[in-house]
Amino acid sequence: MATLSNNNIALAIYLSSKDKSEQEQALFFKKIAQFLSRKRLLLQAPDILSRLDKIINEADGRIVVKLSSKEHLGEDTKKEIANILKERYAAQKIVFMESLNEKLLGGFKIEVRDEVIDLTVKNKIRKLQEYLTSSL
């Protein structure tokens, strides 16, 4: 007997619901909830929904980017970051989830999918310190 993974469930939900009308989707999602209940997978629902969100974003060519900085970044900076990320990840649209972190000295941190791009001042100082203290 095959094991159902959360990713497979999310993919099945996406493929089964993408071409349905709103009324059909409402009935379909009710049946999905009943299925998860029968299979005792309701506790897995948050993870399944998270995976479903990733599948939908990927299908739409959209990437959700978590952006942490000490202060709000200007629109020009965000546009520049978006252009770089669009090219790097072959995305059509970048959606920023911006959060302020008072603990940062400066710079910013970008989280995309499973990758973290740390451009904070603290990280740059740490890298400089490692370089200066390493033996050449």
Structurally, how many domains does the chain consist of? 2
129 and 109 both lie in a single domain: yes
67 and 116 both lie in a single domain: yes
pTM over 0.75: no
pLDDT value, residue 134: 84
CA 65-68-69 angle, 5° bins = 140
Answer yes or no: are the C-beta atoms of 111 and 96 closer than 8 Å: no
80 and 22 both lie in a single domain: no
Nearest CA-CA partner of 124 in 108, 112, 101, 103: 108
Whole-number Å distance between alpha carbons of 113 and 95: 12
Q: What is the pLDDT along the chain (136 residues), one digit of tens a residue?
A: 467 799 999 999 999 998 899 899 899 999 999 999 998 999 999 999 999 999 999 899 999 999 999 999 999 999 999 999 999 988 999 999 999 999 988 999 999 988 999 999 999 999 999 999 986 6
Answer yes or no: is 125 within a domain: yes
129 and 114 both lie in a single domain: yes
CA distances to 61, 72, 112 from 85, rounded to whole Å, are: 12, 19, 9
30 and 75 both lie in a single domain: no
45 and 82 both lie in a single domain: no
Answer yes or no: is 1 within a domain: no
84 and 50 both lie in a single domain: no
Whole-number Å distance between alpha carbons of 128 and 122: 10
User: 80 is in which domain, residue-wise?
Assistant: 62-133
